[in-house]
Amino acid sequence: MSVALITGITGQDGSYLAELLLKKNYKVVGMVRRSSTVTFERIADIQDDIIIEQGDLHDQSSLVDLLERYEPTEVYNLAAQSFVPTSWNQPVLTGEVTALGVTRLLEAIRQVVPRARFYQASSSEMFGKVLEVPQKEETPFYPRSPYGVAKAYGHFITVNYRESHDMFAVSGILFNHESPRRGLEFVTRKVSHNVARIKHGLQKTLPMGNLDAQRDWGFAGDYVEAMWMMLQREQPDDFVIGTGVTQSVRRLCELAFGRVGLDYKDFVTSDESLFRPAEVDLLIADPTKAKTTLGWEPKVDFESLVNMMVDADMERMAAKLKQ
């Protein structure tokens, strides 16, 4: 039986990946960090089908212990401090978890299960102030935040373990991907959640940052399939995963408010504090290699994604108000 260890299983991607691997009959072990309250909302439906173990990317011995006990055949490193604005306020923590945490895990794998296949959750934020449009596997990095810098470290240490120790270690350079399970602070979910609040009369305005920023947004459920596909190949390799289409935050607002019959211009206000010290203005993927070599393509387009998220938040809000 294939055994997968997922770090970050309580996050958006961890929950979708765990569901995918269960369908493929994997034994799924999810690493969670200790907290005073339970953070299993996203994995509530599958909690009885997976094994949940405590561990932390700060703590090497917890990683070694998990690998020794479960001997996973595949390890997916999805855990990270993943919110870009927080990385300016907590740059050292971001480096500890999002960068050095990757080395801790790779080193533990090298010592305990060197034949295990390793997936690193790299990010389009590494392209930052882009040096090429669209961005592909060979595009040089120019990260614009401590988060992007930490991810560039995680990317290169993964390449380095592959080349130094002959490990099956790969990096998926994923562009923004969203879902109704996205954290509330990220822009798509912030908008869908607040559209539902405004439509239900719970608030009147939505303060936003840079509406001109452009992102290549896809659906998280599609993107976890690419993670799995990358670990099934004969040779380890890195892939850019995205849709190849870019949209502005303004267009996101227009579509999301439009979905419930409202005009975003009547509600969205500008809040200087939400602008970033250094912005990533334009991201757009060239996913040709993923399509031709991996056979991966996104199934959900941007408008369907926005509709899915707004509809889910409208339902959640209606259910909450009924209680």
Q: Which is nearer to ligand F7E, 215 or 259 (CB)?
A: 215
Site size for ligand NAP (CB under 6 A):
25
One of 3, 4, 5, 13 touching ligand NAP (CB under 6 A) = 13
Instruction: Residue 210: name its binding partner from ligand F7E, ligand NAP, none (Cβ under 5 to 8 Å by kind).
Output: ligand F7E
One of 11, 154, 209, 218 touching ligand F7E (CB under 6 A) = 209
Q: Which residues does 155 contact at the CB level (< 8 Å), separation at least 6? A: 120, 122, 126, 141, 171, 173, 238
Quick one: residue 248, left, alpha or beta (phi over 0 = left, psi -120 to 50 = alpha)?
beta
123 is catalytic: yes
DSSP code for 50: S
Of 308, 274, 260, 52, which Cα lies nearest the Cα of 185?
274
Torsion of CA 59, 124, 158, 97, to 10 degrees: -10
Pairing outcome for strands 117-123 and 218-219: unpaired
Closest chain position to ligand NAP (CB): 11
Of 62, 87, 123, 192, the active-site residue reads 123
Of 147, 161, 223, 264, the active-site residue reads 147
**For residues 56 and 23, what is the distance between their CA atoms, to the nearest angstrom?**
26
One of 29, 43, 50, 80 touching ligand NAP (CB under 6 A) = 80
125 is catalytic: yes
DSSP code for 263: -
**For residues 274 and 136, what is the distance between their CA atoms, to the nearest angstrom?**
29
Helix axes 146-165, 101-112, angle to 10 degrees: 20
Residue 310 makes contact with ligand NAP by CB under 6 A: no
Helix axes 187-199, 249-259, angle to 10 degrees: 30
Minimum CB distance to ligand NAP, residue 8 (Å): 3
Give residues 59-88 in contact with ligand F7E (rule: CB under 6 A): 82, 84
Site string for ligand NAP, 52-71 (x = CB under 6 A): ----xxx-------------
The two three-digit tokens of residue 289, written as one number:
């290699």
Q: Which is nearer to ligand F7E, 275 or 304 (CB)?
A: 275
Instruction: Residue 78: name its binding partner from ligand NAP, ligand F7E, none (Cβ under 5 to 8 Å by kind).
Output: ligand NAP
Q: Which is nearer to ligand NAP, 39 or 293 (CB)?
A: 39
**For residues 255 and 311, what is the distance between their CA atoms, to the nearest angstrom?**
12
70 is catalytic: no
Minimum CB distance to ligand NAP, residue 175 (Å): 7
The two three-digit tokens of residue 107, written as one number:
């080193």
Active-site residue list = 123, 125, 147
Q: Which chain residues interact with ligand F7E by CB under 6 A?
A: 82, 84, 123-125, 175-176, 185-187, 190, 208-210, 213, 215, 249, 274, 276, 279-280
Q: Which chain residues interact with ligand NAP by CB under 6 A?
A: 7-8, 10-14, 33, 35, 39, 56-58, 78-82, 97, 121, 123, 174, 176-177, 183
